[in-house]
Each structure stands twice: as structure tokens, then as C-alpha cells.
Chain A
Amino acid sequence: GAGVSQSPSNKVTEKGKDVELRCDPISGHTALYWYRQSLGQGLEFLIYFQGNSAPDKSGLPSDRFSAERTGGSVSTLTIQRTQQEDSAVYLCASSHQRGPYNEQFFGPGTRLTVL
């Protein structure tokens, strides 16, 4: 079946502009995650949505970052007033939520370049 999809695959923007990144999770997955990976670095957790519960925003690096998930499905990560240090690959993942088991399925990512 279809996996996690993300759009756009690449985004180049100028410093100070706002950007929106989209994630379509696997159908039926109630949990959705955003991570980012800077060049040569490991993955950094950003935010987590689970059903109708309040999202875990503990990984968002600043108030310029926000995310929402509409209708329990599609999610949008918004970065306002982008900075060069925001350049990274932004990865989305989704999973079922059944007890402690947590296999996350990752999308291909959006490569963001801030000039």
C-alpha cells in the first residue's frame, strides 16, 4: 500500500520567508511525527501528534516552528521567518499506536535550503 508521502521533495527559499511542508501519513495511522536532519547529523525529534490528544511539541527549536494536523490525517509543518540554520531534511513518520510497540514508517523527507 501507499507509504508516507511528503511534499515538496525540495524547497529553496530566501532567508526571512515562511515555508509550509506537508505530510500525508499512512491511512489509519493515528500517530504522526516530525523530525529534522541537518547535514551530517542524526535525526532530531520536533513534534508528535496522537489522535485528539494535545501534541508533544517539546522538540520544536523555536516559536518560529509550528505544526498542525487536520482531521487526524494530513499534517503541515510551518517555519516562519526562515533562517539559514533551518536548512535540513524534514522527515515525517506515522505509526499505529498499539501498546508499547512503535514501528514508525518514514517518508522520503523534504530538503529545505534557506539561502
Chain B
Amino acid sequence: DAKTTQPPSMDCAEGRAANLPCNHSTISGNEYVYWYRQIHSQGPQYIIHGLKNNETNEMASLIITEDRKSSTLILPHATLRDTAVYYCIVRVGGGATNKLIFGTGTLLAVQP
């Protein structure tokens, strides 16, 4: 079972920041938080990952709470092409396997 909880859907106005929350209250100390997204009819796409510190790349920012029980993915200026299902994943296993356990994700609908 997925170790994360996300809202099933969210709306965001084009050009605005999209803030996608994720709860992972049972995360272990050595587990990373990964975010992927899946645009309709495509394979999932990696966005960002983090362990403890906040992270930023060209796609998004990841804010992880100090207790690591939740995180927020921020798309600073959402566009229509950002409409997708966003998956928050806690990486299971270590060394021997790196499978990703996908939950149901959040469907982000960016509105014009």
C-alpha cells in the first residue's frame, strides 16, 4: 500500500502558484519523498525529490516539514500543460529494490 495521502483533485488558475500537499506520517528516517506527474496518456515523469531540506529545480520546489510527516510540491507559475495527476511517493526498500509505490495521486486541473 502507498504510504502517502493526497487530495484527489485540485484546481489552479493559469499563472498562479499550485501548491500540492502530501501527508506521509509514517515515513522512515532514511526514506526520500519523490514527486512524479502523469500527463494524460503518457508515462509518469520525474519532478523532484528530497530527504530533509527544501529542494528547488527548474520544474518545481519541494517543501518538507521539519518532522518530515508532510510535504508540499509548488509549481510557481502553473500553465495549462501542467494539468496532470501528481504522485507523491515515499521510496520503499533500500539497495536491493527501488520500486515506487504509487498511490492515487492528485489530479491538478489548471484553468485558463
Interface positions of A (Cβ within 8 A of B): 4, 31, 33, 35, 41-45, 48, 50, 53, 56, 58-59, 91, 93, 95, 97, 100-109
Contact = CB atoms under 8 A, between A and B. Distances in A.
A53 B104 CA distance: 30
Contacts of A100: 30, 32, 91, 94
Contacts, number: 66
A56 B96 contact: yes
Contacts of A59: 99
B43 A106 contact: yes
Contacts of B99: 33, 45, 48, 56, 59
B90 to A, nearest CB: 12
Interface in B14-44: 30, 32, 34, 36, 42-44
A42 B103 contact: yes
A95 B34 CA distance: 14
A102 B36 CA distance: 12
A37 to B, nearest CB: 9
Contacts of A48: 97-99
A107 B43 contact: yes
Contacts of A56: 96-97, 99
Interface residues of B, number: 24
Query: Chain B's interface: helix, strand, loop or mixed, by majority?
Result: loop
B97 A106 contact: no
A48 B36 CA distance: 18
Contacts of B102: 35, 42-45
B46 to A, nearest CB: 5
Contacts of B98: 31, 48, 50, 95, 97, 102, 104
A45 B100 contact: yes
Contacts of A50: 96-98
A32 to B, nearest CB: 11
